[in-house]
Structure 1
Amino acid sequence: MSADFWAGYVSGAIGILVGNPLDLIKTRIQAGNAKQEIPSAASGHTQTRYFERWSALARGSAAPILGYGALNALLFMTYNRSLAFLNTGSIASAPEIPPAWSIWTAGALGGLATFFVSAPTELVKCRAQVSIPPSSSAAVLRDLWKRNKLRGLYLGGGITSVRDAVGYGFYFWSYELSKRALTKENETQNYEAMKVLFCGGLAGVVTWASIFPLDVIKTRVQTWDLQSGSLSSSASDATQSLLSSQSRPSDLAMSRPSTFEIARQAYKTEGASIFVRGLGICSLRAFIVNAVQWATYEWMMKVLGTR
C-alpha cells in the first residue's frame, strides 16, 4: 500500500478517538433527542439527562474507528491521484501549486470514492449513538443486516454521497489555500507545526459549515425510525418503538418518507433553525479533530519519506 493510504488510515482512526464524544452530542442534537427519557430501575420513573453514564461518550465509536480509518485512507489516496491526473494527465505526481478548482474537484472525487465505506459507517454510528436501550455498533450492524441484508447498510446513501462530495471538496480546498496564505520563508519547525494544526482545524470548520444542513438531513434519514416524534407515529407510539425492536418495521424502507419529505417535515415542525442545530458543537469538534488528523497525516508522510 502507498504512503498516503497508511497516513490517511492512521490519521482517520486517531481523529475518531479524539472526536467521538463531541460527535455523539452532535448526532443526538441533530436527531432531536439530545435529552432522552431513560427508565430508572430504582425509582420506576424516568429521568431526563444527556447521557446514561460516562461510557456512553464512546458509544458508536467502534464502527467509525474501523470504517473511518479505511475511509480516510481511500479519501487521501483518491484525492492525491485525482489531483495529479487533473493537472498533469498522469497519477504519478501533482504540481507543487495546483489551481484551486482542481483541488476542490479532486477533493469531491475523493469524497465520492469513499461512498462504499462512508454510507454504512455513518449509518451504524448514528443509530448506535441515538438508540434506546443502548446498542453496540455490532448489534446495530446485525439488526440492519437481518432486516434488509446489504441494502439495509446503505440507508441514506444518496444524501451521504452528496454530503461527502461537497464537503471534501471544500475540505482540501480550504486546507491547501490557507496553508499557502500562511506560508513564509525560513519557517521554523514550531511555526510549521502550528500552521498545519491551524489550517487543519480551519479546514474542518469550513467543511462542516458548508454541508451542515445536508448532514442534519442525513442524520434524520438514517435514524428516522428511532426518533421520538417519528413522522409516522404519535409520541407514545414513537417511545414504544424506541424501546422495542419488535415494533419497528421488518423492512427499513417500508413506509419510510423520502429524503425530501423528511427535510420538509423537519422544517415545517421545527423551523429553519433545525438545519443549523448543533453547528456550534460540530465546529468545535471539527477544529480539534481535523487539526489532529492533518498533523498526523503530514507527520506520517514525512516519516514514510514522501514529504
Structure 2
Amino acid sequence: MAADFWAGYISGAIGILVGNPLDLIKTRLQAGTANQPSASPNATGSQLHLPWTKQFEHWTSLGRGAAAPILGYGALNALLFVTYNRSLALLSTGDLHIWPERPSAGTIWAAGALGGLAIFFVSAPTELVKCRAQVSNPARSSWEVTKELWRAGGVRGLYMGGTVTSVRDSVGYGFYFWSYHLSKEAIMDESDGHRSHAVKVLLCGGLAGVVTWASIFPLDVIKTRVQTWDLSPPSANPEAQPLLSRQPAAAAAAPNIVTSRPSTYNIALTTYQHQGLSPFFRGLGICSARAFFVNAVQWAVYEWMMNALAS
C-alpha cells in the first residue's frame, strides 16, 4: 500500500497510546462524570466518598477505553492522511498523483475537511465505544460496550451521535492540516539541520493539535454528551437515564439507549439552560496539553515514516 497509509496508521496508533490517560480525564470532565464521587471501603468496611481524581488509584485505569481507539484509530489515521493527500493533489492540480508545491491555505483546509468526512465510518463507532468505556461505572471493556450497543440497535447503535461526530471531524481536520502547514511555512528553513528540523516538526505538530481542539471543543463536548447521555449523572445531564451504573448486563442492553435518546440539539440546549456556557469549555486545558503532546509525536512519527518508506 501507499507510504502515507502506513505512516498514518502507525502514527495514529502511537498517538493513542501516549495520549489516552489525558483523554480519559478530558472525556469524564466533558460528560460530567468527573464530578461524581468514587466510593471506596475504609478499614471499618464503610464507604468513603473520594474526589474524582481517586478513580485512578490503579495505573491500569489510565488505559480505560484505549482498546477501541488503538484498533480503530490506526485505520482512521491512515484513511485520513490518504484522503487528505489525494484531495489536496486533486484540488490543486486536477491529478490525484501530482503533489502541489505550494497549495493555498483554503485548498489545504478543504482537503483536510474532506479527510475528516472520509473517516466517518471508522471515527463514529470508535469514538462512541471509547467514550462510553471511559465513563462507565462500574468499569466495562470496549468489547462489552460494543456488544451492548449492538444488542441495543445493531449498526445504528454503533453510530449513535454520528452526525455531530462527522461535523466535528470535518471542521477539526480542516484546521488541523491548515495550522500544521501554516506553522511549517512560518518556522521551517531549508538550512535547518536534522535535529533542528525534528524539533520544529514536533513544535508544528503540537501547535496544530492545540489549534484544532480550540476550534472544535464545544462541538466535542456536545458529541461526548450525546454519546454518554444515559451514563451521565442528573446534575450534569438532567435528561440522562443511567443504564450501566447500577444495573445488570441484561438491563444495560435496553433499547432506549438508541431509540429514546434525545436529539443532539435538545442535549446541547438542556446543557446550556441548566449550566450555561462553562460545560462547553470544561476540560479544554487538559485537552490542549494532550493535543500538543500527542500531535507533536504523531506528526514526527508520520514525517519520519514517510521519509523512511520513500527512501
Sort the TM-score into its range (normalised by shorter chain). Answer: over 0.9
1:113 maps to which of 96, 112, 118: 118
> In 1, Cα distance between the equivalents of 2:252 and 2:148?
13
> In 2, Cα distance between the equivalents of 1:40 and 1:258?
36
Cα deviation digits, residues 106-125 of structure 1 (max 9, x gap): 00000000000000000000
> In 2, Cα distance between the equivalents of 1:232 and 1:268?
12
**Alignment partner, residue 243 of structure 1:** 246
Aligned residue runs from structure 1 range 145-184, under 5 A: 145-184=150-189
> How many angstroms does 1:44 deviate by?
3.7
Verify the 8 A CA contact 2:152 2:258 in the aligned structure 1. no
SS at match of 2:255: coil
Cα deviation digits, residues 212-238 of structure 1 (max 9, x gap): 0000000000000011114336xxx74
Verify the 8 A CA contact 1:16 1:61 in the aligned structure 2. yes
290-299 or 270-279, which moves further after superposition?
A: 270-279
Computed over aligned residues only, the root mean square deviation of the Cα atoms, in angstroms, reads 1.6
> In 1, Cα distance between the equivalents of 2:281 and 2:294?
20
Does 1:32 pair with 2:54? no
> In 2, Cα distance between the equivalents of 1:241 and 1:185?
56
Does 1:2 pair with 2:5? no
> In 2, Cα distance between the equivalents of 1:251 and 1:273?
29
> In 2, Cα distance between the equivalents of 1:197 and 1:241?
40
Does 1:57 pair with 2:59? no
**Alignment partner, residue 97 of structure 1:** 102
Cα deviation digits, residues 274-300 of structure 1 (max 9, x gap): 111100000000000000000000000
> How many angstroms does 1:40 deviate by?
3.1
Cα deviation digits, residues 177-220 of structure 1 (max 9, x gap): 11001122311111110110000000000000000000000000
10-19 or 242-251, which moves further after superposition?
A: 242-251
> How many angstroms does 1:159 deviate by?
0.1
SS at match of 1:94: coil
1:228 maps to which of 210, 229, 233: 233
Does 1:19 pair with 2:22? no
264-273 or 162-171, which moves further after superposition?
A: 264-273
Verify the 8 A CA contact 2:148 2:252 in the aligned structure 1. no
CA distance 1:54–1:290, change in 2 (3 Å): same
CA distance 1:247–1:181, change in 2 (3 Å): closer
> In 1, Cα distance between the equivalents of 2:220 and 2:75?
21
> In 1, Cα distance between the equivalents of 2:105 and 2:195?
27
> In 2, Cα distance between the equivalents of 1:150 and 1:34?
29
Verify the 8 A CA contact 2:198 2:300 in the aligned structure 1. yes
Does 1:270 pair with 2:255? no
Verify the 8 A CA contact 1:67 1:121 in the aligned structure 2. yes
What TM-score, normalized by structure 1, do the two folds share?
0.94
Output the amino acid matched with 2:296: A
Cα deviation digits, residues 21-55 of structure 1 (max 9, x gap): 00000000000011433343563425223224221
Instruction: Spell out structure 1 runs of 4+ moving beyond 4 A.
Output: none
SS at match of 2:38: strand
Cα deviation digits, residues 78-135 of structure 1 (max 9, x gap): 0000000001111002211111111000000000000000000000000000000000
> How many angstroms does 1:170 deviate by?
0.2
SS at match of 2:7: helix
**Alignment partner, residue 47 of structure 1:** 49
CA distance 1:248–1:226, change in 2 (3 Å): farther
CA distance 1:46–1:221, change in 2 (3 Å): farther
Aligned residue runs from structure 1 range 170-209, under 5 A: 170-209=175-214
CA distance 1:110–1:247, change in 2 (3 Å): closer
- Work out the percentage of aligned pairs sharing the same amino acid: 63
Verify the 8 A CA contact 1:200 1:294 in the aligned structure 2. yes
SS at match of 2:100: coil
> In 2, Cα distance between the equivalents of 1:69 and 1:247?
29
223-232 or 86-95, which moves further after superposition?
A: 223-232
49-58 or 203-212, which moves further after superposition?
A: 49-58
